[in-house]
Amino acid sequence: MVLAPLALASISYGGLFYNVLIGVMGLILLSEWFNIVGHRPKWLGLGAVYIALAVWALWKLRIDPEWGALTLFWLVGVVWGADTGGYVFGMTIGGPKLAPAISPKKTWSGFVGGTLTGALAGWGVIYYARPDAGVNLFVFSGLMAVVSQMGDLFESWIKRRFDVKDSGNIIPGHGGLFDRVDGLVATAIALVLINFALQGNVLLWLS
């Protein structure tokens, strides 16, 4: 309830407010990663590169004067939709486990539900701004919702490998910041790489 309005406000205003927020986020994530992997140079280096790429991607996406804010709102919609849908569908339907060795609570029903909810949320954000948004954006949003869930699984795998329950305790009852933005980190990196490959904003290309 505290972090969501702050994140949305920073995306809307952009500029120094946004840059400071993602910079602070990056420092917290680095600290939490170091707490997870301990004094292991290769893992420390991997985490530093991964987090630096994510912070750079979030900065790069926002500086687009025309599509920057809308792209970030879309990104947040996809990630939050995937997280919420995965939790709701997984808890209400249950069923076979998705990756029990990595994250015992995640189910295939949650994965499918999270993908569909993320797709709908992402499409809805773009449709609000551009009512001609079609099925291409729905499908792409679903694919990025999958990336978000893979980011979640990656962080779960790292924690399980080093026998750590939470990345930190900065958020009471929810663990560390990494536990909340693992999907955002992966999706931001994937999106900016796709934009580079297309030499433009993929959302504009699809709409």
pLDDT for position 164: 87
Q: Which residue has the tokens 């790292």?
A: 158
Domain ranges of the chain: 3-206
Judge whether 170 and 2 are in contact, CB under 8 Å: no
pLDDT for position 167: 77
Q: Read out DSSP for 21-83?
A: HHHHHHHHHHHHHHHHH-S-HHHHHHHHHHHHHHHHHHHHHHT-TTTHHHHHHHHHHHHHHHH
DSSP bridge pairs for 99: 103
Helix-, strand-, coil-residue percentages of the chain, each rounded to 5? 75, 5, 20
Q: Is 106 helix (H, G, I), strand (E, B) or coil?
A: strand
Q: List pLDDT tens digits, range 151-171.
A: 999 999 999 999 988 777 666
Local mean pLDDT, 10-residue blocks, the chain (207 residues) = 82 94 95 92 96 97 93 96 95 92 92 97 92 90 98 94 80 74 96 94 88
Neighbours of 53 (CB within 10 A): 16
Residue 166: left if φ>0, alpha if ψ -120 to 50, beta else—which one?
beta
